[in-house]
Structure formats: structure tokens, C-alpha cells
Structure 1
Amino acid sequence: MDTAKLYKNDTYIKEWTGAVTSVKPLEEDDSRLLITLDRTAFFPEGGGQSCDTGFIGPYRVTDVQEEKGEVYHTIEKGDEPVPRPGASFHCSLDWERRFDNMQRHCGEHILSGIFYSLCGGINRGFHMGGDYMTIDISLEEDPAVTEITRETALEAELAANRVIWSDAPVTVTHFDSREEAEKMPLRKALALEEDITIVSVGSRENAADCVACCGTHPSSAGQVGLIKIYKVERYKGMFRIYFEAGERALKDYDEKHELISSLSQRYSASAGNLASKLDAREKKLSDLKDELYHIKKAFTAGECSRIDSLIEDSDLSVLFYSSDCLSAEALGDMSKHYMGKAPLLIILFSEKDKACILASDGVFCDCGSLVKEYAPKWSGKGGGSRVSARAVFPSEEKALAFSEALKELLS
């Protein structure tokens, strides 16, 4: 027996009484059951809309699906006894979730209808995600229109919100046959032959949208509240519109307003000139980075010259160089000056990174082997080749102990 679907005639039913008509366990999870009711207001997943959740008596409803006219509710059994067929229960929807879906789904209808009337765009795909919704618009009705620009999207957004501000009625009409349903001003061809539900926004003579739909919708467009388009991108020969509607769109605005207010205060700028302030700051940082690069390049070149002098004026087998300001990356660049050339071991130590950079000609010693064999004794990690290697230590003391050990080994 098909389940009586209360949501088809009244999307505002939040509580009702339903009798269990069947119960069966889920094979993959014995803590959950699959039950059917004689009547339900739980909307099953479909048409791009997620299912309702809520309670059937003491049982939490986590999923709802429809198959061959029957609505199947997945419930968590918990410590409760298994419900028996014939038992009646007080049922209740998670109304916040339902109304959220109603706002978003109706918002999608309104925006899709506007794109159809504005540029002949046909909605070929719809997705309600956690952070945004998307519709995929195909421009196949009007050969003169080849692109949805940002300006077109803003025009559609304004028109969609004007439908909301007009509080246009949203009507749901059920038809037994395709012939009757096709008398409506549909924006999309029907795919069903019977038991067809048409959702219209606005009057029949001046509909903002009119299309077949099995989802739940508010009774008027004003309850959608708001539609906001985030971005438009090309997708598989179509245009994908990212947007949000209802309370979610308002929350997104709140978050972005807080962010802009915070940044405006931080950079002493108004919302209107924040971007130019950040551009100027970015330019200044870029100039400083360029200046720092050249200063560092000159400094390291000078340090390399100093090390060269030490090598020439001594018969050292191990030369240790320590820096409290240069990073391991900078010392790594310095070490390239000695790779495959220096007839000794050069250890460049970065105090800030607690890292030792080794360089040699690869004949005097094998840098990679030294790191592999000795660094772990002081909890160091690293590796390298014969002419260059790197080891990072948990403390400066351990890095220095590693360096002293190599001095003793090779002296």
C-alpha cells in the first residue's frame, strides 16, 4: 500500500500521528531499522532536495527514501524496543531543516525561472550543497545569447529578489495526466506522463517560474527572504551559477560583513577603499621583499667571501659557520658555492631553524652518509648527497653536539 504523503498537500505540517505498516532491519547496521507508515510528512530525498529528519515516537529519523510509492524511514533504534506493525506514533519534523530546504529549493526555482525569461537559459542541473547551491544553465533557446556575464548574473539576481519582495504566491498543483499539466506555462518539458506536480511562482498569466517539481516549497516567495549569486563559471558547455537563498544567504552576508568590518578597522579603511588600501599594502610588501632579497644576496655573498678567506688562510678539515639571522634555506643557497668544490667539510648552522647544512667536494667526505649515520644519535633528521646534506634537530644543543662530533671525526 502506498504511503499517504502529507507533504504533497501541506508543507507546513510539523506534527502528526502515523501507524507503522512494516518494519525491517538494515543488513549493514543492526542499530537501525527501516520502517514505513500509513501516512507521513517526512519528505524523501529527491529532485535535488535532501530528505527531512525528525522523530517517529522515540526513534530518531536519519534518512527518508521513496520506492514504488512507499516512503521508507531509517530510524535509530537505540535502547527502545522494535516498533511493531500497527503501532501508532506521534511524529515530528526537524522544522528548521525543512524550512531551510523550502527556502533554498524555492529560491532555485525563482532564479532558474528568471534566467529562462532573461536569456532563454535552461536549468540542466541542480545541486543543494552544504555551503552553496548550484544550477547549470544551458543557453540553447536564444542563439543571440552566448554567455552569462557577471552583469547578466547581477541583473538576474535583482530580478529574482524583486519576485521575493513582491511576495508572489507559490502554488502547487497536481495533475493526473501530461495533457492537463502541459496547459501550464512551463519553462521545461515534462518527463512524466501521469501523477504530475507543477510548482508555480506568481500568477498563471505572469509566472516568474512554472515547472514540474516533487519538492517542498513555501506558500509565498517572500518567505524565501533573499537570493545571492556568488559566482558564475563555465562548465561543460554550460554556465554554473553558485548561489544561496534564505537564512543561509543572510548568514553568509553576516559573516562577510563581519570580515570586512574587521579588516576595515584593522587597516583604517572604509569598506569602499579597503581594496585599494590592501593593494597599496601588498605593493609595499612586495617592494620590501625585493629589497630584502637584494640585501640578503649581498650579505650572503660577503659571508661566502669571508669563508673563502678562512679556507685559504688555514688548513682546516672542518669549518663551522653559525648564523642567528639566516634561515636554513638561505644557508642552503650559500652552500651551493661549495658543493663539489671545497676540499673539506663545511657546516653552516642556522640557529633559528636548528639545522646544519653540510657541503664538501664529495671526495674529502660523503655529506649524505655523515648525516645518515650521525644525525640520529642526536635525534636529527635529514639526508642528502655526497656533496650536500641537511640535518634538522629538536634543539640547538643537539645540533651543536652533532657538529662537534663531526669535527672530532674528521680532524
Structure 2
Amino acid sequence: MEGKLYYQDPYLVQFSTEVIEQGKDESGKWYAILKETAFYPTGGGQPCDTGYISGVQVYDVEEKNGEILHYLESPLPNDVTIVDCQLDWNRRYDHMQQHSGQHILSAAFENLLGFRTVSFHLGKDTLTIDLDIGELSEIDAMVAEEKANQIVAESRNIETKWVQPNELSQYRLRKQVSVTENIRLVVIPEFDYNGCGGTHPRTTAETGPIKILGWEKQRKKIRVEFICGGRVLAHLQQKHTVIQRLSGLLNAPQGELVLAVERLLDGNKKLVQATEEANDRLVHYEGKEIIENHPEQMVTEVFQNRSVQELQKLTRSIISMDEAKIVVLLAENGERLQVVCARGEKVETNMRQLIEKILPYIQGKGGGSESFAQGGGAAVISGEMLIKTLKEKEVLQ
């Protein structure tokens, strides 16, 4: 395999090398293969490095069939054989911090609690590990996090070793290696021994603080979400900005924000309740007025921009006040017509059958019970014209 410099020096971000091959892959994407490379290809839960090769952007790096392909925004000049390469150092160092933090936190969970890590994913904003357990308590999470940050504070060396298969028994590996050659161990002496091809800093101190953000159950495992190093500071800044804005909006210091929000929610709950009670009274008066305007048994009304829920509430109010009424209410809502039908207790007319007769006129769908039904369709005619047509066809009598 060409190009293994990325295994040797994670701090190598500028280098020159020879172009072995360039072209397009089966999907038409430009790529280059270098004699040596410091670009880390996607793998082991860690995203790839990005950067530039002779000024051309490298946006993806993958290992395929034993070769490392650097995917390019555009082809390199044909006459170029020696290229200058530069990695995105901020991205590289962030990945180094996150990956070493994952090793440390996973080892803390396993060494202290016996919770084994079965998978790892390094995302753009956070990273996750899946623990082979069914539940995780706050106390256990706190214990593991405290131990992980203790290891960071001790500034222990992070060592890499190339070993042969017959040498693996000398190390207390956290998990079995998945390869039989080119075996690379990442070691934090007296704490963690793990097979890994990823990029890591020289000491645990460079990892920076490790913070667990939360966890959830995923397929009988517990997925722990966390951040390390610079991401912790960015996360803290984001939360600080939010807290400062909330403090100003609520006119309360940080320590009293929760109480201020609780008071606000309680006040809002009371306001919503009062509004609902007021709306119920308005619906009652509206229903009473409709009954007074419709002495006949069949009540029909057309409204503008009223929701189905509002029609339902108004309909129920009318039949509760006059059990001998049949009520058909329509609402014109833009390109839609909504219909609600109901009968009082003293009426036997089947509302489900009635709505089934009405809906074909508006290409609608709906349904309901014998006493209450609803539906909606296209406003192919106005509500008033629909009522007139239904009366002429003796659907409404």
C-alpha cells in the first residue's frame, strides 16, 4: 500500500511527494494517488482529513483496494509530478482531540465499571460511543467522566507501537484487533491499550476537557454523546451566549433563570386556560345566536377561515343547547372547503350517510359516526353555492 506517513506523524501537515496516479473513478470524481501521504482516510469511526494538493482542494480521502485515493475538486495539471500538500490543521487537530478523548472515556467506562465500548462515531459537532449495557445511571456517567478528565489532567503520554500478532499477548488490550498485519497500538501506559490506526496527540493533556452531553438507548445498547477539547469550549460559548440572552429577556440573573422560566410557563398556562374559557363562552354565545336565527330544524352556516376544530366546537355547542337540531357548518379555507355535520339527541338522521352524500360535490373525503361526521374537499364551488345545491337536490331538508 502506498502512503503511510499518516500513521507515523499526526503533526505532519505540510509535505511534498510524488503523484503516482490521477484520474476519475467509476462515478466520475477526480482523484489522485500519492507516493506518500499524510492525509488520513475515513476509517475506524474517524472522518478523513481535508486540505490541498498543489492548490487543488482535497474534499475526501478513502482507502480502496490497498490504495489511498485523494478526491479533488478539479484535476491536477498533467505536467505535475511533484506536489506540495497541506492539510487542514484545525480539522486534523480537532479529530486528534476527539479520538484520543474517545479512547480515554471508553477506557474509563471499562476499567471502572466494566462497560465495554462496541462502536464509535466521530461526527461534525459531537461524537458517540455505544456501550454494551442496557442502562446507564447519572452516577456511573459522572464517575467515568471524572476519571477521564483526571487522566487528561495527568498529561500522560500517548504512545504508538507497531507490533506482530505474536506480541499482542503482552498487552492488556481493551478489544481484540481486527487485522493480522500492520498492527498499530495506541497506548496510554497503565490505563489503555487499544488497536487503532487513527490520529492522536502526544499526551492526554492535548485532548482537553471531556464532557458527556447525554445518552439514550439504541438497540439494547446505550449510546453516549460527548465532546472533547476545543469543542467543549465552543459548546460552552454557545450556551453562555444563550444564557446571556435569556437573562436579558427574562430580567433575571443566571442562577434564577430556571425559576424565572417556571414563573413564565405557569403564567402562560393560566393565560391559555383563561383564553380557552373565554373562547368557550364566545362559542356558546355564537351558538345561541345561530339558534335564534334558525328556528327551523336544519341549521346551515358558511364561515371564512375557520378550522375544523372550531367548527366542531361550535357544532357541539349548538346541539347541546337544542337537541332537536341538525347542524351543517362549512368553512371556506383558501382552496379547501371543510364540512361538519351533527345531530341532536332527539334526531335520528344518520350523519355519516349525510356527509357521504355531501362530499362528492367537492371531491372530498371524510367520515364519522351516526351522530357526528366531518370531511373536506376542494373549493370547486363556494360554500353558499354548495348549501343551495344540496337543498335543491334535497340532500339537506
Cross-structure match for 1:199: 186
Do the aligned partners of 2:126 and 2:225 also contact (CA within 8 Å) in 1? yes
Cross-structure match for 1:96: 90
Cα distance between partner residues in 2 of 1:24 and 1:390: 58
State the Cα distance separating 1:198 from its structure 2 match: 1.1
Cross-structure match for 1:182: 169
Call closer, same or farther: CA 1:307–1:118 in 2, change over 3 Å: same
Name which of 47, 52, 56 aligns with 2:49: 52
Cross-structure match for 1:300: 283
State the Cα distance separating 1:338 from its structure 2 match: 5.6
What amino acid is the match of 2:106?
S
Name which of 220, 231, 234 aligns with 2:214: 231
TM-score normalised by the chain length of structure 1: 0.77
Cross-structure match for 1:171: 159
TM-score normalised by the chain length of structure 2: 0.79
State the Cα distance separating 1:67 from its structure 2 match: 4.0
State the Cα distance separating 1:125 from its structure 2 match: 0.7
Call closer, same or farther: CA 1:14–1:345 in 2, change over 3 Å: same
State the Cα distance separating 1:348 from its structure 2 match: 6.3
Call closer, same or farther: CA 1:4–1:129 in 2, change over 3 Å: closer
State the Cα distance separating 1:164 from its structure 2 match: 1.8
Q: Please list every run of 5 or more consecutive structure 1 residues that lacks an aligned counterpart in the other structure.
A: 140-145, 375-380, 394-400
What amino acid is the match of 2:35?
D
Call closer, same or farther: CA 1:210–1:134 in 2, change over 3 Å: same
Cα distance between partner residues in 1 of 2:3 and 2:332: 74
Q: Please list every run of 5 or more consecutive structure 2 residues that lacks an aligned counterpart in the other structure.
A: 344-348, 393-397
Call closer, same or farther: CA 1:184–1:280 in 2, change over 3 Å: same
SS at match of 2:191: strand
Call closer, same or farther: CA 1:406–1:64 in 2, change over 3 Å: closer
Name which of 117, 120, 126 aligns with 1:126: 120
Instruction: Confirm whether residue 63 of structure 1 aligns to residue 57 of structure 2.
Output: no
State the Cα distance separating 1:293 from its structure 2 match: 2.8
SS at match of 1:50: coil
Cα distance between partner residues in 2 of 1:50 and 1:100: 11
Do the aligned partners of 2:330 and 2:383 also contact (CA within 8 Å) in 1? no
Call closer, same or farther: CA 1:194–1:358 in 2, change over 3 Å: closer
Cα distance between partner residues in 2 of 1:98 and 1:265: 38
How many pairs are equivalent? Answer: 378
State the Cα distance separating 1:112 from its structure 2 match: 0.9
Call closer, same or farther: CA 1:402–1:233 in 2, change over 3 Å: closer
Cα distance between partner residues in 2 of 1:19 and 1:116: 44
Instruction: Confirm whether residue 38 of structure 1 aligns to residue 35 of structure 2.
Output: yes
* Aligned-residue identity in percent: 28
State the Cα distance separating 1:317 from its structure 2 match: 8.0
SS at match of 1:23: strand
Do the aligned partners of 1:125 and 1:136 also contact (CA within 8 Å) in 2? yes
Name which of 179, 182, 197 aligns with 1:214: 197
Cα distance between partner residues in 1 of 2:378 and 2:312: 13
What amino acid is the match of 1:334?
L
Q: Superposition RMSD on alpha carbons, in Å?
A: 3.8
SS at match of 1:62: strand
Matches within 5 A, 1:107-118: 107-118=101-112
Mean Cα deviation higher: 47-56 or 275-284: 275-284
